[in-house]
């Protein structure tokens, strides 16, 4: 007695039969499904499920590609900003602004008014 076909084998054979049909070669899906011990309807459902799964995997892969591209852009922007900040720090140091502290005199700070009770 022959072994039953696996889920993947049925999917492969049905897809192959569809290709064969498109090319004008005769192959019987019913026989494939009988060999697997399933109905034709189940065989076609398995193929449909696999197609959905493959589509979802492709969409996830495309999202991953876009995320990697965005990540690289963000790394480049971060590098550019670090370079700019270092340049500003050096310019401030050269011009003696690194130790400059701006403080307000008490008279420049507005006083809070006292509330009447």
- Residue 117 inside a domain? The answer is no
Task: Return per-residue pLDDT of the chain as tens, 117 residues.
Answer: 467 878 888 888 888 878 777 767 666 778 778 877 889 899 889 889 988 999 999 999 999 999 999 999 999 999 999 999 999 888 888 887 766 554 444 445 565 666 665
The Cα 93–Cα 108 span in angstroms is 28
- Residue 17 inside a domain? The answer is yes
Total number of domains constituting the chain: 1
Residue 42 CB coordination number (10 Å): 14
- Residue 1 inside a domain? The answer is no
The boundaries of the domain holding residue 50 are: 7-96
pTM for this model (two decimals): 0.49
The Cα 89–Cα 83 span in angstroms is 10
């Amino acid at each position: 007695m022959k072994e039953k076909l696996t889920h993947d084998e049925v999917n492969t054979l049905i897809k192959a039969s569809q290709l064969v049909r498109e090319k004008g070669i005769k192959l019987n899906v019913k026989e494939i499904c009988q060999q697997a011990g399933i109905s034709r309807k189940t065989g076609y459902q398995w193929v449909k499920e696999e197609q959905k799964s493959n589509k979802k995997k492709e969409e996830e892969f495309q999202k991953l590609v876009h995320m990697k591209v965005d990540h690289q852009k963000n790394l480049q922007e971060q590098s550019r900003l670090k370079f700019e900040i270092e340049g500003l720090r050096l310019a401030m140091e050269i011009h003696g602004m690194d130790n400059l502290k701006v403080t307000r005199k008490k008279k420049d700070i507005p006083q809070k008014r006292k509330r009447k009770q």
